[in-house]
Chains A and B, each alone.
Chain A
Amino acid sequence: MRGDYKTVGGKLVTVNFDLSGGHLTNVQVSGDFFLYPEEALGDIRQALEGLPESEDERSIAARINAAIGPEVEMVGFSPEAVARAVGRGLGRDDQ
């Protein structure tokens, strides 16, 4: 599965994943965004790994927020943008 979301005036985020038993696995988060420090990408990915496919986007974004430290700067994208990409990957319509 793959979902893309581009923040208006910002950058593209793509989430690739497989579904196994109703959970996201083999998650990859990529895109032309900026992220400081770069190691935070692993935390964002970890927040999505094993996620139930029924999870709504608001709680997906909250999980990402909780997983990254306060010092992390997401530039051109956001936890909400990642959550929207996951939602699209799951075939959910835009709200």
Chain B
Amino acid sequence: MTINKHDVRLYPEGIESRWRDLDWEIVGPAPQRPAMNLALDEVLTRRVGHGDRAPLLRFWGWAEPCVVIGRFQSVSNEIHLDRANELGIQIVRRVSGGGAMLIEPESAITYSAYLPPSMVEDLSFQESYAFLDSWIIDALRRLGIDAWYEPLNDITSAGGKIGGAAQARKDQAVLHHTTMAYDMTEGLLTQVLRIGMEKIRDKGIRSAEARVGPLRQQTQMPRDEIIDHLYDSFVELTGASPGALGDAEIAEAEALVDEKFGNDEWTFLLP
């Protein structure tokens, strides 16, 4: 008997109502520098945790190409730094764990959810990823993409890995952010990222690039229309109302770019 992966729900039954229990706001994509996107994540997580703003879903816009490495990754172990510099690809470090992502501005779809811990209380880490990614899986399937959640933090499909999520838990809040590949410049991933065989040993595949199945290979829909569809799907699920980033939030994030996310001290924390 084969188990249809699509039908395996990896979180407890009956918690879907939690999406509607919160008064969500939603913000569409506006291009930001990579370090600013990361700084906004820290600021907005803290503000949600301290009750200074409503739970929020924010789509990211990317102003510049970059590699975003995970909180615990080593720059030199993950990145061909000379090649990245030649290509004008910045390196930034995010606050959450997980793996490196190569971002080309029009080729990635990224969003962050900032929520109170009550939404995932009594769930294991794995269940919380499955639960917080469930709406995106449903939304992708409505586009005819055969997608599912793959533990621990992947969103994958019959056509290959689409993306991944990462969580940080701090300041009495949960940050859950997800990046999906919309498109991919062939050969760029392996030029910039070092992906050893050990990492893909249990995946049953021969190369990192062979793992990836960008959305553009699986749907005719332009990137902006996919983002609109995801936005609408989230509003339908949660009743979220359109929000905006406040001037104080933006100012705080800009200060954090100067102090932290734009600095080598943070980026090369693990050299």
Binding site for B on A (CB under 8 A): 2, 4-6, 8-12, 14, 16, 28-38, 41, 73, 75-76
Output the nearest chain B residue to A76 by Cβ-Cβ distance.
Answer: B152
Residues A33 and B198 in contact, CB atoms below 8 Å apart:
no
Looking at chain B's contact residues, the main secondary structure is loop
- Given A4-B198, A10-B152, A12-B198, residue A30 in contact with residue B100 (CB < 8 A): no
Output the nearest chain A residue to B199 by Cβ-Cβ distance.
Answer: A12
Looking at chain A's contact residues, the main secondary structure is strand
Whether, in the assembled complex, B53 has its beta carbon less than 8 Å from a beta carbon of chain A, the answer is no
Binding site for A on B (CB under 8 A): 70-74, 77, 95-100, 125, 151-153, 166-170, 196, 198-199, 201-202, 270-271
- Given A8-B202, A75-B125, residue A36 in contact with residue B72 (CB < 8 A): no
Q: Report B266 CB to chain A, min CB distance, Å.
A: 12
Give the top 10 A-B pairs by smallest Cβ distance, nearest first: A32-B99, A34-B97, A30-B74, A4-B198, A75-B125, A30-B270, A8-B202, A12-B199, A76-B152, A6-B198
Chain A residues within 8 Å of B196, by CB: 4
Output the nearest chain A residue to B201 by Cβ-Cβ distance.
Answer: A6
Give 15 pairs: A residue, B residue, CB < 8 Å, sorted on A: A5-B198, A9-B202, A10-B152, A11-B97, A12-B199, A14-B74, A30-B74, A32-B70, A32-B72, A34-B97, A34-B152, A35-B72, A38-B72, A73-B125, A75-B152
**What separation, in Å, do the CA atoms of A6 and B152 have in the docked complex?**
13
- Given A4-B198, A5-B198, residue A34 in contact with residue B77 (CB < 8 A): no
